[in-house]
């Protein structure tokens, strides 16, 4: 795939044209207040993983609407009792779930608590998932996939449920006695990166302890541009839907605007390490830079906030795979620096 988006110089200054709704904060305040009406009811059950150096727990907690959301918690087996660990809360890519118990324990191998959230209604592609979405958008029309599920109303849109689940996953991770609730790292690739950004924005005024955000080639950013220019992956689901429903472009964008990571990330206060791939035709570089350039810049009527430190790693010759193992080394160093190790 050749370079098809803006030049790197243009990307570094690119900002999204999306204008956030006037009641954006009110919508999310109400959404999270309703979610917190349900007790978190977090459960951690020890589970055999056949790994001698990692202890694993089958997690469940109450997400959106009180639905049970699954996950894994991995801890180093040689941890010292009474010394809580920083925790990496990890979100899965589109169509993927939490996977098998021993499938991904790398942050625990590095000495951290590693919490992986299952994504409701996914796990049918990529890694295995086990969490149903019991709140479908009944009676709505949608294109195959998840991107247009509930797109007729912001209250019904699929990612309203998933973003709430991500927020409550942080609460569940912080509640575990062997986790240091003051040292939470939010992490993910593609959809997972988008969820990390959304969770960072939602947590900023509501939860303490977010140490940093690790957003790799993030999805769910700058919807209007993404729909126009993306040839492959989930964004074309929206374009295909609008190609059939020709009169629904503006109403659909009005709903998507409540879920755009550009707006949510603007509210984040934690430092961040992003990555972008310049040949990415699934999450185009301009959409990633739109999120990066807005991240932490503040929003709404609140007093301007100090923009948190943020950095972008650019992988010029990569598509949506991004930096992969090379980038994880940079993440390890970045988190260690944040912790003063």
Q: Which of 74, 280, 281, 286 is catalytic?
A: 280
Structural domain of 302? 8-339
**pLDDT score at 299:** 65
Residue 190 known to be catalytic: yes
Instruction: Please pick, among 74, 114, 320, 327, the residue that the annotation labels catalytic.
Output: 320
Tokens coding 47: 């589970």
Residue 305 scores a pLDDT above 70: no
Is the distance from CB of 84 to CB of 99 less than 8 angstroms?
A: no
Q: Please check whether residue 153 lies inside any domain of the structure.
A: yes
Task: Please say whether the dihedral angle defined by the alpha carbons of residues 332, 334, 336 and 341, taken in this order, is positive or negative.
Answer: positive
Tokens of 124: 């049918």
Quick one: which of 151, 125, 132, 153 has its CA closest to 68?
A: 132
Residue 3 domain-assigned (yes or no): no
Residue 2 covered by a domain = no
Going by C-beta distance under 8 Å and a sequence separation of 6 or more, which residues neighbour residue 217?
A: 189, 190, 193, 275, 276, 277, 280, 282, 283, 288, 320, 322
pLDDT tens digit sequence for 99-132 = 999 999 999 999 999 999 999 999 998 899 999 9
Residue 37 lies in a domain: yes
- Catalytic site residue from 95, 127, 187, 190: 190
The share of the chain scoring above pLDDT 90, in percent, equals 91
> Residue 304: what pLDDT?
58
What phi and psi, each to the nearest 5 degrees, are found at residue 210? -75, 115
- Predicted local confidence at residue 160, as pLDDT: 98
pLDDT category at 301 given cuts 50, 70, 90 is very low
Q: Look up 320 and say whether it is catalytic.
A: yes
Question: What does the alpha-carbon distance between residue 120 and residue 117 come to, in Å, rounded to a whole number?
Answer: 9
Q: Which residues of 169-186 are buried (b: 16+ CB within 10 A; e: fewer)?
A: bbbbbbebebbbbebbbb
What CATH number should be reported for the domain holding residue 298? 3.40.50.1820
Q: How many domains does the chain have?
A: 1
Residue 95 — left, alpha, or beta (φ > 0 → left; ψ -120 to 50 → alpha)?
left
Residue 205 placed within a domain? yes
Residue 324 lies in a domain: yes
Residue 1 lies in a domain: no
How far, in Å, CA of 171 to CA of 303, rounded? 27
Strand order in the sheet with 179-189: 43-47, 54-62, 68-76, 113-117, 85-91, 179-189, 210-216, 272-277, 310-315
Q: Give how far Cα 70 sits from Cα of 63, 114, 116, 223, 293, Å.
A: 9, 14, 9, 28, 33
Q: In the annotation, is 152 catalytic?
A: no
Residues 197/218, Cβ–Cβ less than 8 Å: yes
Is residue 13 a part of any domain in this protein? yes
Work out the average pLDDT over 220-234: 97
């Amino acid at each position: 795939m050749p370079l098809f988006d803006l030049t790197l110089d243009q990307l570094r200054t690119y900002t999204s044209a999306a204008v956030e709704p006037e009641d954006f904060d009110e919508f999310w305040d109400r959404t999270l207040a309703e979610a917190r009406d349900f007790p978190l009811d977090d459960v951690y059950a020890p589970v055999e993983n056949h790994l001698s150096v990692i202890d694993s727990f089958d997690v469940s907690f109450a997400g959106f609407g009180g639905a049970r959301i699954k996950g894994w918690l991995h801890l180093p087996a040689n941890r010292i009792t009474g010394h809580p660990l920083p925790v990496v809360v990890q979100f899965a890519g589109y169509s993927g779930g939490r996977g098998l118990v021993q499938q991904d324990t790398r942050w625990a191998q590095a000495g951290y608590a590693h919490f992986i959230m299952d994504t409701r209604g996914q796990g049918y592609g990529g890694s295995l998932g086990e969490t149903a979405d019991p709140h479908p958008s009944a009676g709505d029309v949608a294109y195959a996939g998840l991107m247009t599920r509930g797109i007729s109303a912001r209250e019904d849109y699929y990612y309203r449920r998933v973003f709430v689940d991500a927020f409550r996953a942080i609460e569940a991770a912080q509640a575990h006695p062997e986790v240091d609730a003051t040292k939470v790292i939010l992490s993910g690739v593609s959809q997972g990166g988008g969820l990390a950004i959304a969770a960072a924005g939602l947590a900023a005024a509501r939860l303490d302890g977010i140490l940093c955000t690790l957003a790799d080639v993030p999805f769910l950013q700058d919807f209007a541009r993404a729909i126009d220019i993306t040839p492959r992956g989930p964004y074309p689901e929206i374009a295909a839907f609008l190609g059939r429903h020709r009169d629904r472009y503006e109403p659909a964008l009005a709903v998507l605007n409540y879920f755009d990571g550009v707006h949510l990330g603007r509210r984040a206060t934690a430092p961040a390490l992003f990555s972008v791939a310049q040949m990415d035709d699934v999450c185009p570089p301009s959409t990633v830079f739109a999120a990066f350039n807005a991240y932490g810049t503040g929003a709404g009527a609140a007093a301007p906030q100090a923009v948190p430190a943020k950095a972008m790693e650019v992988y010029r010759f990569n598509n949506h795979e991004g930096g992969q193992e090379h980038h994880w080394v940079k993440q390890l160093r970045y988190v260690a620096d944040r912790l003063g190790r």
